[in-house]
Amino acid sequence: MRWYFAIDEQGAAGQTGEDAKLAVHTALNVGGLEPCLLYYGAPSDFTVWMQKRGVEIINTAPSFLDSMNAAQAAGTFKAYSIGHWLRIAIPQVESAAEFVLYTDCDMIFLHPV
């Protein structure tokens, strides 16, 4: 099953990035999951780590990123994490599978899904 998780460059550089690595490690250990990372940002040590483990990296951005940036500049919206919004891209990037799994990055897989 294709498993999607999402993170941006800023999140990948901190604890959320470490959580994502643990999630990938456990997903690969239990088997049955194809990790797919929705990512916003520049390539980094984090993305290299993911690629070395066979994680498919899908560079994407929320379709409404320009509106978010404009609202933030106007002081009407505080963007905490672009990565949070990447999950809504799944229907645009996934067309083959009838079902996929999406989780946050702070996941540990104990059993096959």
Q: What is the DSSP string of the chain?
A: -EEEEEEEHHHHTSHHHHHHHHHHHHHHHH-S-EEEEEEES---HHHHHHHHTTPEEEE---TTHHHHHHHHHTTS-----HHHHGGGGHHHH--S-S--EE--SS----S--
In a domain, 110, yes or no: no
> Which residues constitute the domain of residue 38?
2-102
Whole-number pLDDT of residue 53: 98
The burial of 78, by beta-carbon neighbours within 10 Å (0-12 exposed, 13-18 middle, 19 or more buried), is given as exposed
**Mean per-residue pLDDT over the chain, rounded:** 93
Confidence grade of residue 65 (pLDDT, cut at 50, 70, 90): confident
**Count of domains for the chain:** 1
In a domain, 112, yes or no: no
In a domain, 51, yes or no: yes
In a domain, 98, yes or no: yes
In a domain, 68, yes or no: yes
Q: What is the pLDDT of residues 80-94, one digit of tens each?
A: 678 888 999 999 999
